[in-house]
Copies of this chain bind each other. A is one copy, B any other.
Amino acid sequence: MKMDDRKLKILQAVIADYITTAQPIGSRTIAKKYELGISSATIRNEMSDLEEMGFLEQPHTSAGRIPSERAYRLYVDRLMKIKKLTEEEQTAIMAELGNRADEIENIIRKTVKILSHLTRYTSLAMSSQLDDCRLRHIHFVPIDSNSLVAVIVTDSGIVKNTIIKTADTVTPDYLESLTKVVNEIFQGATVEELNSSVASEDFRRYAYRYRLLDNLIPLIVDSLEEKKCDEVYADGMRNIFNFPEYSDVSRARNLLALIEDKEQLAGLINRIAGKGVKVSIGSELDNENIRDCSLVTATYRVGDKEIGKIGIIGPTRMEYARVVAIMGFMADQITCLIKKQLGE
């Protein structure tokens, strides 16, 4: 049998429909939905041919048809038009990729991973917004003659590494004196102080000598401001499916939706978490979507400042005895680690 243009069109219609609906598709539906100018009976005959040729399959006699693997292969090799990403998508990706992770982010990521692994529940972590974040110090590491890494450390332990390219060749001497100058002017500065000092005459004088300074300021501001928004990390969402209470897929999806709604989640954790390990059970959470869940939270600190929170979410029949122990231990470990990292 020969594959003609009409068969291809019908095949394409079946594939396109099945990709979006995941439902077997019948001849009548194609006739109505795709205006091919032929009746359902004709389509029926063609589909029968396509099945014989191995491009369509029937789950059972009286169902519509679905594409076979062979059909997908044909589609991938010959039919599909690759849909290029839009400009906006492209720039968004590049921005996200270029955005470097700081040390605290790394610790948090590790933390949620460990927590979910250890407890087999879904784990959460977030760092609090700090309004009064200050620059602790900044260092430069030469990579080659015209690129270097700037290492920015803040008082809440953010360590941000950024590669800077320079037009001119930078010498070790230059870097050393730059380091001295920058730390002299900006050490202990908040974002506001940074902005005001940039406007000062002193700064202008320096900036003339050290061209790099102009590039540097936005980086420092970023590092200080970055943590102002609440970002919530989650891991182990798949664990939800280990619990029979979520064997009903729609309930599971509800919970997943809440966990993906970072804003609502952040609000919830912020409202509940307090000093030490806290257990909130079901309705105590005061949230319709997770009335049948429990949440165990803990906080980690630098000095006496609370700089972040971790949480475990699971069914109300949670293994509290174990989870509480794990949370306590992890919160302590993070606190220690950040303290150590700040070199205290």
CB pair A317 B67 closer than 8 Å? yes
Task: Give this chain's copy count.
Answer: 2
Q: Which residue of B lies closest to A337 (CB)?
A: B97
A318 within 8 A of B: yes
Q: A19-B317, A284-B69 are in contact. Are A114 and B141 (CB under 8 A)?
A: no
Residue pair A89, B109 in contact (C-beta under 8 Å): no
Docked Cα-Cα span, A316 to B76, in Å, equals 11
Q: Are B85 and A114 in contact (CB under 8 A)?
A: no
Q: Which of B19, B110, B176 touches A318 (beta carbons < 8 Å)?
A: B19
Of A27-35, A38-46, A223-231, A327-335, the one with at least 4 CB within 8 A of chain B:
A327-335
Within the assembled complex, what's the spacing in Å between the Cα atoms of A106 and B118? 23
Binding site of A, secondary structure by majority: helix, strand, loop or mixed? Answer: helix
Asked if A1 is at the interface (CB within 8 A of a chain B CB), the reply is: no
A321 touches B81 (CB 8 A): yes
Alpha-carbon distance A100/B103, docked complex (angstroms): 8
* Nearest B-chain residue to A94, judged by Cβ: B333
Most buried by B among A18, A94, A100, A149: A149
B-chain residues with CB within 8 Å of residue A82 when the two chains form the complex: 321, 324-325, 328
Residue A83 interfacial (CB < 8 Å) = yes
Nearest B residue to A122 via CB reads B238
Closest residue on chain B to residue A136 by CB atoms? B143
Task: Tell me whether A22 and B143 are in contact (CB under 8 A).
Answer: no
C-alpha spacing A343/B141, complex, angstroms: 13
A110-147, CB < 8 A from B: 110-111, 113-114, 118, 137, 139, 141-144, 147
